[in-house]
Structures are given as C-alpha cells and as structure tokens.
A = this chain, B = another copy of it.
Amino acid sequence: MKSKLNIVKIGGNIINDEVALASFLKDFSELEGFKILVHGGGKRATEIASEMGLKPKMINGRRVTDEANLEVVTMVYAGLLNKNITAQLQQNNCNALGLSGVDANCILAHKRIVKEIDYGFAGDVDEVNTETINVFLQNNMTPIFCAITHDKKGQLLNTNADTIASEVAIAMSDLFNVQLNYVFELKGVLETIEDGNSVIKDINLNKYEQLIEQGVISEGMIPKLHNCFSALKKGVQKVKIGDASLVKNEANLFTTLSLK
C-alpha cells in the first residue's frame, strides 16, 4: 500500500500577512507524515518591482513576465519568500528544503507558446522529477517549492503555483496516495459569494459542471477547480479547498472535490 503524501499550496493572502503565515507554518510543521509545500507570490514582488521602477503587467489574472520582471520574481519567490518560509519551518523543527523547479531538475517546463497573448517567460510544466523528490522525502526532508521552473536550456520560467501544486500531486501519485490541499482566503467554494460560511462541502465532476452552468462558480475559481479536477482524473486521491485551518486536524468547513 502506498504511503500518504499531503501537498499543500498557499497563496498571496497568507504570505502577505506575517501573523497568518507564522500560524499556518506552525500548523504545517505539525502535520504528520510525508508532505510538500508549494507557495505562490504575494504583494512583495509587486512592491519590489515598483521600487525598481518596473510596472507589473497582468493579462487574464496572470502576470506577463518580461526579463526584468522575471528577475524580480526569481529574487522574491526563490530567494526572499522561499528562504524565509524555510527558515520559519526549520525553527518549528520541520526539516524544510527550499526548492525551485530548477534545483536537481525537479520541475521541467517550457516557455508558454505564443498564441494570442505573449505571456513572456511564463512556464508550462512538462515533467516532474518524482525520483528526486522521493529521495528528499525518504531522507526526512520536506520540499518547499516556489513557482519558478526552468527549461533545461538555462532559462528560468515563472510558473503558476496552483499548476505546480497539481502537477507535482499528479506525478507523485505514482509513488504515494496523494491528498492535494489548496489553502486560500475563503473557507471553501461558496454557494453565495456574500456569505463566507456558505461552503459547498462536496463537489463531484457532475456537480462542478452544473455549478459552472448555473454561474455559481466565479471566473477566478474556474482555473483553480479545473486544476483540481485534472489532478483527480490523473490519479490524485483527494483534493480539499479551504482556508488556513485546512491543515489543522480540527478543520471542519472546507470543500472536498471528487470525481464521482
């Protein structure tokens, strides 16, 4: 029987809040068994880009990464955020290992092909190096991935952190019974956006399609849920979406996604 592996993805809303981040990292440290953390960016990248005189450019909610902005996200995601998160986890006695996709060739990607929009140095994931990630896990290390990958031709690439989490989850399902946990600012997928407690506890593939048709799921949630169902179809055992309490044992309000 495969061992359980928890993959947790956190986004900017926690990273931007020092107290919330410290509290989450304490809970994550206490999570038992094999685990991986994937973190997104947060506002510090935007602030630093602005201090350096750069203007961030967004299309469809995705950052368009020119060379100067790639430099900033590499510094902020792989340097500042990744190492500070790793240091805090080490303080909590979690043997965290901060990684980007380039390190030991963990996540191979290619520069997104230009169709209508040129996203610049945005990476789409091709391959996750499960063997190496398993070496880390089996040697009592907890990989902490930032959302920077590479193309093995020397080019770093800025990659969507939700996608990294789902691609790592899918690939690691060959070796583990994987649970993927998306932590974000809400308690789960909401029935009514105005009511933060109107969490839809269970969504299967049929219901997901119905909810989109009914317009219940907002535009911002669709790519996130798309990633989740894609992960489930490709072998991930369970996907949970909720706020930071998701990593605590006593969490009781969150959305569980399943195929059937």
Q: Give, as a whole number of angstroms, the nearest-CB distance from A161 to chain B.
A: 16
- Tell me if A112 counts as interface (CB < 8 A to partner B): no
A149-157, A226-234, A239-247: which lies at the B interface? A149-157
A96 close to chain B: CB less than 8 A: yes
For A139, the chain B residues whose CB sits under 8 A away are: 132, 135
CA distance A152 to B89 in the complex (A): 9
**Segment at the interface with B among A56-64, A70-78, A167-175, A210-218:** A70-78
Inter-chain contact B90/A79, CB cutoff 8 Å: no
Whether A74 pairs with B78 at a CB distance below 8 angstroms is no
Which listed residue (B95, B102, B135) contacts A105, Cβ 8 A? B95
A90: contacting residue among B80, B98, B102, B148, CB under 8 A? B102
Report whether B80 and A75 are in contact in the complex, using a CB–CB cutoff of 8 Å: yes
A31 to chain B, nearest CB (A): 18
The yes or no answer to A53 lying at the interface (CB within 8 A) is: yes
Within 8 A of B (CB), among A75-123: 75-80, 82-84, 86-88, 90-91, 95-100, 102-105
Question: A108's closest neighbor in chain B, by CB?
Answer: B90
A-side interface residues, number (CB < 8 Å):
42
Query: Which residue of A71, A95, A103 has the most chain B CB atoms within 10 A of its CB atom?
Result: A103
- Interface positions of A from 29 to 54, Cβ below 8 Å from B: 48, 51-53
Q: Which of B53, B78, B79, B95 has a CB less than 8 Å from the CB of A104? A: B95
Closest to A148 in B: B83
Contact B82 A78 (CB under 8 A): yes
B residues within 8 A CB of A155?
Answer: 87
User: Is A199 in contact with chain B by the CB < 8 A criterion?
Assistant: no
B51, A91: Cβ atoms closer than 8 Å: no
Q: How far is the CB of A228 from chain B (nearest CB, A)?
A: 28
Between A and B, 22 residue pairs with Cβ closer than 8 Å are: A48-B52, A48-B75, A51-B53, A74-B79, A74-B84, A75-B75, A76-B79, A78-B78, A78-B79, A78-B83, A78-B98, A79-B79, A83-B103, A86-B103, A87-B155, A90-B105, A95-B105, A96-B104, A98-B102, A98-B103, A104-B141, A132-B141
The chain A residues found within 8 Å of chain B, CB to CB, are 48, 51-53, 71, 74-80, 82-84, 86-88, 90-91, 95-100, 102-105, 132, 135-136, 139, 141, 148, 150, 152-156
